[in-house]
Amino acid sequence: MHHDWIFDVLEDLRSYALQNGLTATAAQVDDALRVARAEMQSGLPRAHPETGRQN
């Protein structure tokens, strides 16, 4: 997958949030990770939000 980097970014954000007592933020990032994984695994083509072209 060419979008794998997003998981690293989200995991870094979650780690930062947990280390700094931002538990609600960490929980939201967990939700974002779940959504991102589900979307990536679905294999459905997605339209780019700015161009409307399929990825």
pLDDT digits (tens, 9 = 90+) for 23-53: 999 999 999 999 999 988 887 666 666 666 6
Is this prediction's pTM over 0.75?
no
Q: Token pair for residue 9?
A: 């970014």
Q: Token pair for residue 14?
A: 């979650």
Q: Which residue bears the tokens 């980097």? A: 5
Within 10 angstroms of residue 39's Cβ, the number of other Cβ atoms is 13
Q: How far is Cα 16 from Cα 53, in angstroms, rounded to an integer?
A: 34
Q: Give the length of the chain.
A: 55
**Mapping DSSP to helix (H, G, I), strand (E, B) and coil, where does residue 17 land?**
helix
Work out the pLDDT band at 2, boundaries 50, 70, 90: confident
